[in-house]
Amino acid sequence: MKENQTILRAKAENPLISAFRNQQASQSSPEGRKIRVTSICRRKILNELVTEIKHPLIQHKLSLMRSKDTPTDNFRRLLREISQMLAYEVTRDLPIEFTRIETPIQTIDAPTISGKKLCVISVLRAGNGILDGMLDLLPNARVGHIGLYRNPETLEPVEYYYKVPEDIAERLVIVVDPMLATGNSAAAAIERLKRGGAKSIKFVCLLAAPEGIKVMQKAHPDVPIVTASIDQCLNEHGYIVPGLGDAGDRLFGTK
């Protein structure tokens, strides 16, 4: 146990991680903050934009999810609720047009979303936990699934399923997966979507490790990342620290 603690402390002192945490501490927006990677991270994470949502409701619910004592039903409900708020952030820049409508009082030009077609892609299986919350807010979005599992020996992704809308090239694609750990699965899923014709892609996760952000931004510097928390690091088993354990197992009660 003492040896494991030493390993975790050593990783926590990595300058890449320290730069992320220092950048976090210097920001104070209550709803979310745009982190432009600087200093050492500028060279290693390609200076891309990552959005970490620091809203008190999200952070409170996330803390409940992290607790090992939170049962499956509560974990599932909390993930759905946080996902709704993440959907709000990832769609913040959707184009708006004005449509003439009549209220009970008068006629006005009211803002409406300007016909942007959406598609939410769940990285199976844990991505379905975010998918449900997204669809609560975006009921007209089309849905696709990519099946990937992580080889426990190499930590590399292996694809076993792929089904997405045929017109994916015409849609804003929102890829969802609760954990951005090594980043290999997310990067592989996005690469598969690009080969299938997707042109406009965003990635949404619950937790992100600095190592996963680095991999994602090296592979796909054109893909924005929205997350509820940038955690400290990965441990020797590829799990996010402090994290919340295996999101899929906790979501579906399989462990």
Provide the annotated active-site residues: 150, 154, 246, 249
Is 245 a known ligand-binding residue? yes
What is the sign of the dihedral through the CA atoms of 75, 79, 80 and 84?
positive
- Rounded Cα distance between 199 and 131, Å, is 20
Is 246 a known ligand-binding residue? yes
Is 150 a known ligand-binding residue? yes
- Rounded Cα distance between 150 and 10, Å, is 25
- Rounded Cα distance between 198 and 165, Å, is 10
Is 104 a known ligand-binding residue? no
Strand partners, 173: 119, 201
Which token pair is 237? 């088993």
- E-assigned strand segments in the chain: 33-36, 49-52, 96-102, 107-113, 118-124, 142-150, 157-163, 172-176, 179-180, 200-208, 225-230, 233-234, 240-241
Q: What are phi and psi of 142, to 5 degrees?
A: -80, 160
- Rounded Cα distance between 173 and 42, Å, is 27
Is 17 a known ligand-binding residue? no
Is 179 a known ligand-binding residue? yes
Is 180 a known ligand-binding residue? yes
Give CA separation, 159 vs 123, 152, 191, 199, in Å: 10, 14, 12, 21
Which token pair is 202? 């965003």
Which token pair is 149? 């599992």
Is 197 a known ligand-binding residue? no
Is 183 a known ligand-binding residue? yes
Is 229 a known ligand-binding residue? no
Is 185 a known ligand-binding residue? yes
Residue among 216, 217, 212 nearest 229 (CA): 212
- What residues form the annotated binding site? 125, 150, 177-185, 240, 245-247
Binding annotation for uracil? 240, 245-247
Annotation: binding site for 5-phospho-alpha-D-ribose 1-diphosphate: 125, 150, 177-185, 246
